[in-house]
Structure 1
Amino acid sequence: MNITHLPLNAMRAFLVSAKHLNFTKAAVELCVTQAAVSQQVKMLEAQLGVSLFIRQSRGLNLTEEGSILLPVVKGAFENLSEAMDMLMQGIRREVVSVGVVGTFAVNWLLPRLADFQARYPLIDLRISTHNNKADPVAEGLDYLIRFGKGSWHATEATELFPAPLTALCPPDIGRTMTAPKDVLNYTLLRSYQPDEWSLWLNEAKVAVPKAKLSAIVFDSSIAMVEAAMQGYGIALAPSVMFERLLTEEKLVQPFDIYLHQGSYWLTKLHAQKESQAQIHFKHWLLAQAGAGDGASE
């Protein structure tokens, strides 16, 4: 049915009649005659080709078709009323577009989004994931959340929290290791940074073998840790991103040794002005991260 031909008066008559299950009471609420309400409902039934009410001497009952239509019509009128109230009060929905490192998006941000939606129901978040490289201008992003040292050209960066790397593996492999050098008995899973395991071994006071370390390279810590849990080797990943798996003992951290390579940062271009919605998101994110308001340039 073409939207321009929707019988709004008839649907409203149906909605109020269904509310009271009585044409007379519906007429009182709508400030029209009982005959007018009845006529509007009959017109809607004729247009749909179905009966919406079972008419009885003591009132009305919804037919199966009426029961199907009622929540749809009720929801449509509620949405229309809400939108009109927002317009009359000068309220409008705002959008905040955020590019997020995939691991951060899935393992940290997603579990907290319900809180943001509850606090800011008129702000719509648009989230896209990236592997620590993105172009905010080309992609139309208000913010980027990424991992690093906090220094990007023409960019304001606010630290969220550090995310040191450590060895992570499934419990069965963890039980076989008694000293940090034991990681060399397994395939070492790492990111695209080739020296990460060598640096971690240095932190652990383990001599780095002269032979090339056996490794599988991933562009995502999520995929790396999943590979570790499937028995492919030992991941070198930020434990702060996998607290749930550690708590559930699907993953273990065999050694209390960390490699500090950077933090997660909320970033935006210096030249970009922030809307009120963007500022709300930033303050919420910093509060969730337990961070301050300091920024580095």
Structure 2
Amino acid sequence: MLNLPPRAGSRLNSSQFANLHTFLVAARHLSFARAADELCLTASAVSHRIGRLESALSIKLFVRLTRQVRLTEEGERIFRILQNAVGDLSEALQQSSQADIAGAIVLYARPSVAQCWLVPRLADFARRYPLVSVDLRVGNESVDFRTRNIDLALYYASGDFPGLTGLKLMEEQMAPVCSPEYAKRHRLVDRPGNLQHCTLLHDSLAWENASHDAEWRLWARQHGMEASLPTRHFTFDSSNLSVIAAMNHAGIAIGRQRLVQERVSRGELVLPLGDFSRCGHYDYYLVHPPLDPVPRRLLVFMDWLKECANGALST
């Protein structure tokens, strides 16, 4: 147990800068061992540096448990302050003397919206902001902003993001889609009862904690067709894969309008059971940690994304 002196005399001087950086890394990982790996130190050295910082500041930063550490309330507050300060410094260093908007943006996105909606539009952003680079990473899990170097996430979700800032980018509608050949073979047009003879194609990771058939169940409840859903199915870990399977006559998938409208317009997919409709409260959101201020490069990227979302559905 640390015995800290009264806070009245606490001071921060230049000798503590290395310790502050060590604290920032340890707080991000909530692990002295992982911080040691990143800093090329021993876990004992990390612990000693943080101990010296706590003594100098007269603040207890961590609660040291048997196999882990967690931040105290004061430690959490200092961590947020340091994160913002480092972000502000990085932003300042990335600006040119002409105050051009420059730097890198690390974006995490769901695979299907990245592939079908975002990537085809990136050339326009590159033309407008040639000094801003985008590092796009995709995955199906919710990203931990504390432990991963991510600036912004693009989620398909219900809009609940505790402790984070979320902005609805665009709404989504859905409808069953399949190839023209598949619709003709199963006589689906204007005969919804024939759906029970089809193979359903599922995005098994449609949103966080979704069941493998969540989108189909959502659509069926909206249209009073839960009893008509067949049991035969194929599952995929992205919406786009289920749609590609549908285009190749493997079955019928739930298509999200933002992602499949162009394929429908080209005749590669048809809507045999009716047009797109709202079937729930799942939409696309931009999510990031609370930032004050938001870096300029991130602001222009988010504004550009909103412009894309408010424009035509196709590229």
TM-score range, shorter chain: 0.5 to 0.7
> Judging changes above 3 Å, is the alpha-carbon distance between structure 1 residues 225 and 185 closer, same or farther for their aligned structure 2 residues?
same
SS at match of 1:109: helix
Per-residue CA deviations over 1:209-248 (Å, capped at 9, x if unaligned) read 5x97222222101111111112211101312211221111
For residue 288 of structure 1, what is the aligned residue in structure 2?
Answer: 308
For residue 58 of structure 2, what is the aligned residue in structure 1?
Answer: none
Query: What displacement does 1:289 show?
Result: 1.0
- 1:132 and 1:272 mapped to 2: Cα distance? 26
Query: What displacement does 1:90 show?
Result: 6.6
For residue 46 of structure 2, what is the aligned residue in structure 1?
Answer: none
- 2:169 and 2:100 mapped to 1: Cα distance? 31
SS at match of 2:161: coil
- 2:276 and 2:134 mapped to 1: Cα distance? 36
Q: Which amino acid aligns with 1:206?
A: M
Query: What displacement does 1:167 show?
Result: 0.2
Query: What displacement does 1:99 show?
Result: 0.5
Query: What displacement does 1:165 show?
Result: 2.4
Q: Which of 215, 221, 224 lines up with 1:202 in the alignment?
A: 221
For residue 155 of structure 1, what is the aligned residue in structure 2?
Answer: 164
Gaps of at least 5 residues in structure 2 are 1-94, 205-210
Q: Which amino acid aligns with 1:104?
A: V
8 Å CA contact retained: 1:204, 1:257: no
For residue 183 of structure 1, what is the aligned residue in structure 2?
Answer: 195
Equivalent residue runs for 1:115-264 within 5 Å: 115-175=124-184, 176-177=187-188, 178-192=190-204, 193=211, 194-208=213-227, 213-254=231-272, 255-256=274-275, 258=277, 259-264=279-284
Query: What displacement does 1:103 show?
Result: 1.0
Query: What displacement does 1:171 show?
Result: 0.7
> Judging changes above 3 Å, is the alpha-carbon distance between structure 1 residues 223 and 141 closer, same or farther for their aligned structure 2 residues?
same
Instruction: Kindly tell me the number of residue pairs found equivalent between the two proteins.
Output: 205
> Judging changes above 3 Å, is the alpha-carbon distance between structure 1 residues 90 and 160 closer, same or farther for their aligned structure 2 residues?
closer
SS at match of 1:150: coil
> Judging changes above 3 Å, is the alpha-carbon distance between structure 1 residues 154 and 271 closer, same or farther for their aligned structure 2 residues?
farther
Q: Which amino acid aligns with 1:230?
A: N
- 1:88 and 1:204 mapped to 2: Cα distance? 58
Q: Which amino acid aligns with 1:279?
A: L
Query: What displacement does 1:119 show?
Result: 1.0
Q: Which amino acid aligns with 1:214?
A: R
- When the two chains are superposed, the root-mean-square deviation of aligned CA atoms in Å is 2.4
Q: Does 1:279 align with 2:288?
A: no
For residue 294 of structure 1, what is the aligned residue in structure 2?
Answer: none
- 2:112 and 2:305 mapped to 1: Cα distance? 16
8 Å CA contact retained: 1:165, 1:260: no
- 2:225 and 2:96 mapped to 1: Cα distance? 66
> Judging changes above 3 Å, is the alpha-carbon distance between structure 1 residues 159 and 90 closer, same or farther for their aligned structure 2 residues?
closer
- Structure 1 consecutive aligned stretches of length 4 or more whose deviation exceeds 4 Å: 86-92
- 1:159 and 1:90 mapped to 2: Cα distance? 29
After alignment, is 220-229 or 181-190 more displaced? 181-190
> Judging changes above 3 Å, is the alpha-carbon distance between structure 1 residues 277 and 87 closer, same or farther for their aligned structure 2 residues?
closer
8 Å CA contact retained: 1:168, 1:239: no
8 Å CA contact retained: 2:173, 2:256: yes
8 Å CA contact retained: 1:159, 1:266: yes
- 1:120 and 1:182 mapped to 2: Cα distance? 51
Query: What displacement does 1:100 show?
Result: 1.1
% identical equivalent positions:
24
Q: Which amino acid aligns with 1:216?
A: F
> Judging changes above 3 Å, is the alpha-carbon distance between structure 1 residues 116 and 87 closer, same or farther for their aligned structure 2 residues?
closer
TM norm structure 1: 0.63
> Judging changes above 3 Å, is the alpha-carbon distance between structure 1 residues 233 and 174 closer, same or farther for their aligned structure 2 residues?
same
